[in-house]
Chain A
């Protein structure tokens, strides 16, 4: 049982990362930290995709290899997902900049104070 769990350590790592990211996203009051959490969450999912594409003993998906290569499709998907993630981060950061200009803070508590 334990061995079986250990064998899937890659999934465990990404699950732990996901939870860290998710927790950061919902618990931190600092907006930048929220965004960091979001990035951790997204990256954990990318790891999940990439590690599931892996086939033992195969090389990266480049045609020159003789031994065959791992499933390339998740890599492509993740490439797209990274772009999405980067765009989200960009939008979020620009929002934070504007919020900072308006409220003079990026701490949720202080902003709510200013707000009310």
Chain B
């Protein structure tokens, strides 16, 4: 149990099967943000929990191998940049911040709005997911490790 991973074969196998489904459910929740229950926060958390499950079952080393810390940081920033980027894009075309309808797309106002909200939700989802994962990594990190970039 050096890395705190669980050795039970049942749990390992079940997790292996279940994690992709959790992730798909997370994506589903994110995508359903603009017109039905769902959204970036919830979906992001669900995506994050899938990685947490991975960490619990397969250990921190394995999780870090699959998702390096740097990548998480990049994701975290990327999500926010998507969110604020869309806001800025709206402003570029003369609207207010996050006033989607001004975007020059060959779609009706509603559709543009829905599309933009989807993008924003994806951004939020990515950020929330990375933050959740980071939080968990921090909680289980080694005693002597320091700093985000350690």
Contacts and interface: CB of A to CB of B under 8 A. Distances in A.
Q: Do chains A and B touch in the complex (CB under 8 A)?
A: yes
Interface of A: 60, 62-64, 79, 83, 90, 93-94, 97, 101
Contacts of B39: 79
Contacts, number: 16
13 contacts: A60-B37, A62-B36, A62-B37, A63-B35, A63-B36, A79-B41, A83-B41, A90-B135, A93-B139, A94-B135, A94-B138, A97-B139, A101-B143
Q: Is the interface of B mostly helix, strand, loop or mixed?
A: loop
Q: Is the interface of A mostly helix, strand, loop or mixed?
A: helix
Size class of the contact patch on chain B:
under 10
The 4 closest A-B pairs by CB, nearest first: A90-B135, A62-B36, A83-B41, A79-B41
Interface string B134-145: 010011000100
Contacts of B36: 62-64
Contacts of A64: 36
